[in-house]
Amino acid sequence: MHDLEQTDMLQPLVNEIETTVSNVEYATYGMDSNLFVSKYELYLPDRKELEKLVNNILEQDSRQEKKTDN
């Protein structure tokens, strides 16, 4: 595949990321950025890693809810 074809294929994704970043910047304008960052990642996780992370968070939340219900 040629570089130009790859660029054309990736452009919609790049546009979506740029739009998301712009929306986040607009929504958080003037806020202290330290409020939102608890951990920096130097890479994007693959799908399995992301699913595992989300499932772990959901399990923790579920356990917390059960504790508060008792």
pLDDT digits (tens, 9 = 90+) for 14-67: 888 888 888 777 777 777 766 666 666 677 778 888 888 888 888 888 888 888
Render the burial of 32-46: b for 16+ CB within 10 Å, e for the rest.
eeeeeeeeeeeeeee
| Residues 1-19, mean pLDDT to the nearest whole number | 75
Task: Label residue 30 left, alpha or beta by phi (over 0 means left) and psi (-120 to 50 means alpha).
Answer: left
Distances (CA, A) of 26 to 6, 22, 36, 51: 30, 6, 14, 28
Rounded Cα gap, residues 53 and 44, in angstroms = 12
Q: Where exactly are the structural domains of the chain?
A: 3-28+45-69
pLDDT at res. 5: 66
50: which DSSP letter?
Answer: H
pLDDT at 14: 84
Q: How confident is the model at residue 10 (pLDDT cuts 50, 70, 90)?
A: confident
Q: What is the pLDDT of residue 50?
A: 84
Q: Rounded to two decimals, what is the model's pTM?
A: 0.38
Please report where in the chains the tokens 């399990």 appear, as a residue. 59
